[in-house]
A and B are shown apart, each in its own frame.
Chain A
Amino acid sequence: MNPKDSPLAFLGRIEGLPILGVLVLLYGAFFIAAPSVFTRPLIYMSFLQTIPPALVLGLGLTLVITAGEIDLSFPAVVALAGFAFAWTFKNLNTPFAPWIGVVLALAAGALAGYLNGLLIARIHVPSIMATLATQFFWYGMTILIAQGLQLNIKEIEDTAVHTILTGRILGTIPAQAVWGLVLALFLWFILNRHRFGEAIMFIGDNPNVAQVMGINVETTKIRLFTLMGVIAAFAGLLLTTEINVFYPTQGQGYMLPVMAAVFIGGTLISGGQGSIVGTFFGSYVIGSLQAGVVATGITSYWVQSVMGLIMAIAVSINVMIGEGRIAALSARIRHWVVPAHLHTTGEPSARTDASL
C-alpha cells in the first residue's frame, strides 16, 4: 500500500495540527492533575495576559528562521523599545506623549532591525554573529541611556494607549491576546499568500535558486530584519504597558523560550518552511508549561525537565510528520492487522522505489 493513500496521511497536511494536539493533551493533563486551578477561568486569563509578548516575538522569528536566518537581538530590541516608550511618556509634557512614545519605540525597533539587515544582507555577516553583536550593543546602549535605572509609568494606565494595547476587553479578556491573534493572522497571509513571504521561503530554501529566479535576496533580507525589529519593539510595548514599568534587562529570558516555541511549532531550522499556526500554538504550550507544572503541585525542580521532555516530544512528532513517517506507520500497522495474503498491492514504499 502506498503511504500517500494512508487514512492518516491527511493529518500531516493540516498546518499546526501536531502542536495543537500537544497543547490539548497538555491542558488535559493539567486539568486532571490540578483541577482546582484549571477549572477556573483565572489561570486562562493569566495565560492570555503573560504569553502574548513571547508569542509576538515568536511570530516574527518564524519569518526570520524560514528565511534560513536567525535573530538573537530581539530581546535587546524589546528593552530598547520599552525604554523609548517609557522615557518619552515620562519626559514629554503633552497629552500625545504615549502616542509619540509608541511611534518612537517602533521606529527604534525598525532602526535596530534595519541595521541587522544591512550587516547581514549587504556586508554578508552571518546572521548569528551579526545579531549576537547587536544584541550586546542595544542592551548596552539601553542600560547606558537609562543609567541602569527602571522607570515606573503607573500613570500609563489612564491612557488610551494602555487600553488599546493591554486593556481588558469587556473587563476580562486582555487586549494583548487579541493583538497576538491579529498579528498571527496577518503574518500567516504574508508568509503564505504574499510575494514577500514566498521570497522568504525560497531564500531560506536555496538563495541561489531565489537569485536565479529573479528574487532580490538582499532587499528581501533587509526588509525582513526591519520587520522583525518592529515586531520585537511591539512586543516590548505590550510588555511595558502590561507591567507599567520599564527595567533595563527587560526582554532577557525570552530568547530560548521563544525559539523553542518556533521550533516545536514545526518551522524548519534549515529554513525554507515555516508555520505561523505552529508558532501560535507552540507559544501557548511553552508559555503554559511553567505555571501549569507548578500548579500541579509537583516540586518546581521538575519544571525544567518536564518542559524539556514536552519540547522533545513535540519536535519529534514534527520531524516524523515532515518525513511522512506517520503515514508510513499507519500503513505498517495496517500491514500487521490485515493478514499478508490479503495484500493485493506492493510494499509501502512502492512510489519511492518504483517511480524514482
Chain B
Amino acid sequence: MVEAPVQPYAAQTVNIEKYFGLVCALKDVNLEIGRNEIVGLIGDNGAGKSTLVKILTGVFPPTSGKLYVAGRQVDFKTYNVQQAHAYGVETVYQDKSLGEKQVLWRNFFIGRQIMLPFGFIDVKKEKEIASEIMLNTIGFRGKGITVDSKVSVLSGGERQGVAIGRAMHFKAELIILDEPTTALSLKEVRKVLDFVHKIKEGGKACIYISHDIQDVYEISDRLIIMDRGKIVASIAKEEISLNALGEFLLEYAHGLKDEAES
C-alpha cells in the first residue's frame, strides 16, 4: 500500500471518482498541484469543482481513488476537516471563514489557540502573533484596524485577507479559495488577488476557484478546466492568451451542445 512520497506536489489525486447514488460527480480525476503553484479551477455549475474541493478538504471521502497531500497518502477512513488542517490543507470560503462579531485575534487562533494550563488562552501571545501576521504576512498597514477590531468593520476583501493570512501562518501547504470574490466590488476583488500573490511569494500552493475567467487567468500559473465531472484541459498560462482561453471555453460549451444535440 505504501508508495514512494510524491515530493514535487502539494497535492495529487489519482483516479478519484465520486458517485452520489448512481450519479457520477467525478470521474478519473488526476490532478497534480505543484508545491508553489497557483492553479485556477474553472468549470460551469455542476462541473464537479466543489465536489473535488470537498474531497481535498476532508468534508467527504471519494468513492474510489487516492489522494496525496505533501507526499503523504491520505487515509480516507480518518480524513476530516481537522486532519486536513493538520496535513496543511486550508480552505477560504466565500462567507464562512470568520466569526463576524469576534475580534481579529480570536479569529486567527480559533480552534488552534495558544494555551495556558487548564484550557485558558494566552491572550497576550495570541495578540502579538496576530498583529505580526497582519503586518508582515498580509500587509495590513495603518488603516485603523488592529487585532482588537471586530471582523464586522472589515471590508469583504480584507476579510478574505485575514483568512488567507491565517492559513499561511498555520503553514498551509495548499490553500483552497472557494469563490473568494463572489459578491465583492472590483476594488475588493483586487485586494483578494493581491493576497493570493502573497501565497505565491510565500512559496505555497493555491487552488483558486472562480467564475471570473479574467481574475483566474491573471492569478494562475496553470488553468484546469472541468466539465461534467472530468478534467478536460490543463493549460499552462504561457500557452494560452486570455482571449484564446475565453474562446476555448466558449467552443467547449458549443462542442458539448452539439454533442448533446446529435
Which residues does A use to contact B, with CB under 8 Å? 2, 4, 189, 193-196, 198, 201-202, 205-206, 208-215, 268, 272-273, 351, 355-356
Cα–Cα, bound, A214→B96 (Å): 13
> Which of B91, B101, B123 has a CB less than 8 Å from the CB of A205?
B101
Chain B nearest CB from A63 CB (Å) reads 15
Q: Is the pair B101, A215 in contact by a Cβ cutoff of 8 Å?
A: no
In the complex, 22 of the A-B residue pairs with CB atoms within 8 angstroms, ordered by the A residue number, are A189-B120, A193-B123, A194-B118, A195-B113, A196-B119, A198-B106, A198-B121, A201-B106, A205-B100, A205-B102, A206-B96, A208-B96, A209-B99, A210-B99, A210-B110, A212-B81, A212-B96, A214-B81, A214-B110, A214-B112, A272-B99, A351-B144
Binary per-residue interface labels of chain B (94-116) against chain A in the complex, 1 for a CB within 8 Å, 0 otherwise: 00111111100010001111010
Cα–Cα, bound, A159→B45 (Å): 72
Asked if B237 is at the interface (CB within 8 A of a chain A CB), the reply is no
For A356, list chain B residues within 8 Å (CB): 155
The binding surface of chain B is classed by DSSP as loop
Q: Is the pair B155, A215 in contact by a Cβ cutoff of 8 Å?
A: no
Q: Is the pair B144, A213 in contact by a Cβ cutoff of 8 Å?
A: no
Chain A nearest CB from B197 CB (Å) reads 21
The binding surface of chain A is classed by DSSP as helix
Nearest residue (CB) in B for A270 is B101
For B112, list chain A residues within 8 Å (CB): 214
Asked if B93 is at the interface (CB within 8 A of a chain A CB), the reply is yes
Contact of A202 with B99 at beta-carbon distance under 8 Å, contacts A214-B85, A214-B112 already known: yes
Asked if B77 is at the interface (CB within 8 A of a chain A CB), the reply is no
Count of B residues near A, CB < 8 Å?
26
Asked if B82 is at the interface (CB within 8 A of a chain A CB), the reply is yes
Q: Is the pair A355, B119 in contact by a Cβ cutoff of 8 Å?
A: no
For B98, list chain A residues within 8 Å (CB): 209
For B115, list chain A residues within 8 Å (CB): 195
Asked if B143 is at the interface (CB within 8 A of a chain A CB), the reply is yes
Cα–Cα, bound, A13→B85 (Å): 34
For A196, list chain B residues within 8 Å (CB): 119
Q: Is the pair A213, B120 in contact by a Cβ cutoff of 8 Å?
A: no
Q: Is the pair B113, A205 in contact by a Cβ cutoff of 8 Å?
A: no
> Which of A4, A194, A202, A211 has a CB less than 8 Å from the CB of B120?
A194
Chain A nearest CB from B204 CB (Å) reads 19
Q: Is the pair A194, B93 in contact by a Cβ cutoff of 8 Å?
A: no
Cα–Cα, bound, A206→B97 (Å): 10
Q: Is the pair B101, A213 in contact by a Cβ cutoff of 8 Å?
A: no
Nearest residue (CB) in B for A13 is B148
Q: Is the pair B97, A209 in contact by a Cβ cutoff of 8 Å?
A: yes
Nearest residue (CB) in A for B91 is A212
Cα–Cα, bound, A273→B151 (Å): 13
Q: Is the pair B99, A201 in contact by a Cβ cutoff of 8 Å?
A: yes
Nearest residue (CB) in A for B188 is A356
For B120, list chain A residues within 8 Å (CB): 189, 193-195
Chain B nearest CB from A356 CB (Å) reads 5
Chain A nearest CB from B172 CB (Å) reads 14
> Which of B85, B93, B101, B111 has a CB less than 8 Å from the CB of A272?
B101
Q: Is the pair A213, B102 in contact by a Cβ cutoff of 8 Å?
A: no
> Which of B97, B102, B121, B143 has a CB less than 8 Å from the CB of A195?
B121
Q: Is the pair B101, A193 in contact by a Cβ cutoff of 8 Å?
A: no
Q: Is the pair A193, B121 in contact by a Cβ cutoff of 8 Å?
A: yes
For B144, list chain A residues within 8 Å (CB): 2, 4, 351
> Which of B82, B102, B143, B155 has a CB less than 8 Å from the CB of A201?
B102
Contact of A206 with B100 at beta-carbon distance under 8 Å, contacts A193-B123, A194-B119 already known: yes
For B100, list chain A residues within 8 Å (CB): 205-206, 272
Q: Is the pair B101, A268 in contact by a Cβ cutoff of 8 Å?
A: yes
For A272, list chain B residues within 8 Å (CB): 99-102
Q: Is the pair A355, B155 in contact by a Cβ cutoff of 8 Å?
A: yes
Nearest residue (CB) in B for A205 is B99
Q: Is the pair B119, A212 in contact by a Cβ cutoff of 8 Å?
A: no
Nearest residue (CB) in B for A4 is B144
Cα–Cα, bound, A303→B91 (Å): 55
For A195, list chain B residues within 8 Å (CB): 113, 115, 119-121
Cα–Cα, bound, A265→B32 (Å): 54
Q: Is the pair A209, B96 in contact by a Cβ cutoff of 8 Å?
A: yes
Cα–Cα, bound, A60→B23 (Å): 49
Q: Is the pair B143, A198 in contact by a Cβ cutoff of 8 Å?
A: no
Contact of A198 with B93 at beta-carbon distance under 8 Å, contacts A193-B121, A214-B81, A268-B101 already known: no
Chain B nearest CB from A42 CB (Å) reads 41
Cα–Cα, bound, A224→B27 (Å): 44
Nearest residue (CB) in B for A272 is B101
For B155, list chain A residues within 8 Å (CB): 355-356
Cα–Cα, bound, A201→B101 (Å): 9
Looking at A195, A210, A215, the one whose CB has the most chain B CB atoms below 10 A away is: A195
> Which of A201, A212, A214, A215 has a CB less than 8 Å from the CB of B93?
A212
Nearest residue (CB) in B for A2 is B144
Cα–Cα, bound, A194→B106 (Å): 11
Q: Is the pair B101, A273 in contact by a Cβ cutoff of 8 Å?
A: yes
Contact of A202 with B110 at beta-carbon distance under 8 Å, contacts A195-B121, A208-B96, A212-B96 already known: yes
Nearest residue (CB) in A for B93 is A212
> Which of A208, A213, A268 has a CB less than 8 Å from the CB of B111?
A213
Chain A nearest CB from B205 CB (Å) reads 20
